[in-house]
A and B are shown apart, each in its own frame.
Chain A
Amino acid sequence: RKEVEQDPGPFNVPEGATVAFNCTYSNSASQSFFWYRQDCRKEPKLLMSVYSSGNEDGRFTAQLNRASQYISLLIRDSKLSDSATYLCVLGGSYIPTFGRGTSLIVHP
């Protein structure tokens, strides 16, 4: 089993839709979790950290389920500008672990 698994998508949704991504991980010792956004031909940029109690930043909500070993990202009221690849990243050890990313395409 891969350390971090993400559905590569693409998720193709209309503007205004709500979309959710999951990311499962195998290392139960993982301590920190992040969602990054990567645009085509650009470096990943931090979208938000994921806290145990769940956290929200505007239209974005991140949650962590340690028992089932997954994190999720919910995007409400999707915008065209949300089109990108969303990477989950696990920290807490010396070398971070990346998912391969989930592609989101928001269309008019």
Chain B
Amino acid sequence: GAVVSQHPSWVICKSGTSVKIECRSLDFQATTMFWYRQFPKQSLMLMATSNEGSKATYEQGVEKDKFLINHASLTLSTLTVTSAHPEDSSFYICSPLPGTSNNSPLHFGNGTRLTVT
């Protein structure tokens, strides 16, 4: 299966600072990357879809100026949480669009647990 590396695994930051999360596809080219957020005891919620070389598509209610997504290459997509606040504390997970077909299973990065103090 696809290997996806996500860094950092966890981060604690102060309110008002920015945090960058990287997601790398190690053995394939990811033209599309899904970014999810998961709060405790809740389902994964899609935040945005990033496409290599173009602007990301954000889900309703997700501020594009707060959650900056960059997908500059086929192997790297980044999510930057700008001016983080305690309510942004969550588990962030990336997942590339299955390469072969829409019927292929998803693979996920190992996730980033963000805690904003």
Known: A32-B103, A41-B91, A46-B1. A95 touches B46 (CB 8 A): yes
- Stretch of A56-64, A67-75, A96-104 that contacts chain B: A96-104
Q: How far is the CB of A36 from chain B (nearest CB, A)?
A: 8
State which size class the interface on B falls in.
Answer: 20 to 34
How many A residues have CB within 8 A of the partner chain? 24
Are B44 and A91 within 8 A (Cβ)?
no
Which residues of A have CB within 8 Å of B49?
A: 95
Known: A42-B110, A43-B110, A99-B43. A91 touches B93 (CB 8 A): no
Task: Tell me the interface secondary structure of chain A in the complex.
Answer: loop
A91 touches which one: B43, B91, B98, B113 (CB < 8 A)?
B98
Q: Does B102 contact A (CB under 8 A)?
A: yes
Q: How far is the CB of A35 from chain B (nearest CB, A)?
A: 10
Binding site for B on A (CB under 8 A): 8, 31-32, 34, 36, 41-46, 49, 87, 89, 91-96, 98-101
